[in-house]
Amino acid sequence: MREIRRDAAPPPARRRRKDGEARREAILDAGLAVFSSLGLHGASVEGIAERAGLSKTNLLYYFPSKEALYVAVLRRVLAVWLDPLQSLDADSEPAAAFRGYIRAKLTLSRDAPQASRLFCLEIVQGAPLLRPELEGPLRDLVAAKAAIIRGWSAAGRIGPNDPHHLIFSIWAITQHYADFAVQVDAVTGRGLDDPDFFEGVVASTQALILAGLGLH
């Protein structure tokens, strides 16, 4: 064993940094899991540390405070959040673009439900922290996409509609299956992790939105 360790040990500096990064990632993951189910105030540093596999004090070596960790987790979530909307570009065929966007959002709801829920918790509580992000980048991004939708509408490629309400409706429906998963499960006994159910939701949502746009 000792013989193996002899040259298996990487250069200290490099090794340490890599471990540190992995540690931080593990803490962020644990933070996401705990914050999304208990909220900022309901979560305890100890609980997050336990889930991440280290001690409370040790966690506070990586992040100076619970709030700081919370902000870091939230920032990570938001980055993922603004992404899928990009796919609605003017060059696409409208029907295919909406179909793709809906599938992308539902895929995110299936694969990152905790992120969706944390985002939801934060917004519902007034998002004092996210407000600048919402009024800046998000607002601009939505405005750009609304312009594209209006363009399609003016060209007669989709029916008349209110782009803002259209976008909100897609967000609301697709995120509902992550955020209200326990209610969906209580009523139907199923969830997005069930492949048949997932495809059913994709198809239903695509059909609804496309019908609303006068496409079929």
Partner DNA sequence: GTCTATATCGGGATAGAC
Partner DNA sequence: GTCTATCCCGATATAGAC
Binding site for DNA (CB under 7 A): 16-17, 19-20, 23, 43-46, 54-58, 60-62, 64-67
If the CB atoms of residues 25 and 185 are measured against a copy of itself, the closer one turns out to be: 185
Q: How far is the CB of 201 from a copy of itself (least distance, A)?
A: 6
Nearer residue to a copy of itself within complex by CB, 62 or 94? 94
For residues 44 and 125, which CB has a smaller minimum distance to DNA in the complex?
44
Closer of 120 and 148 to a copy of itself (Cβ): 120
CA–centroid distance for 133 within its chain:
15
The verdict on 172 binding a copy of itself (CB under 8 A) reads: yes
Largest CA distance in the chain: 74
Site string for a copy of itself, 23-62 (x = CB under 8 A): --------------xxxxxx--------------------
Residues of this chain that bind a copy of itself (CB under 8 A): 37-42, 117, 120-121, 123-127, 131, 134-135, 138-139, 142, 161-162, 164-166, 168-169, 171-173, 175-177, 179-180, 182-184, 186-188, 200-201, 204-205, 207-209, 211-212, 214
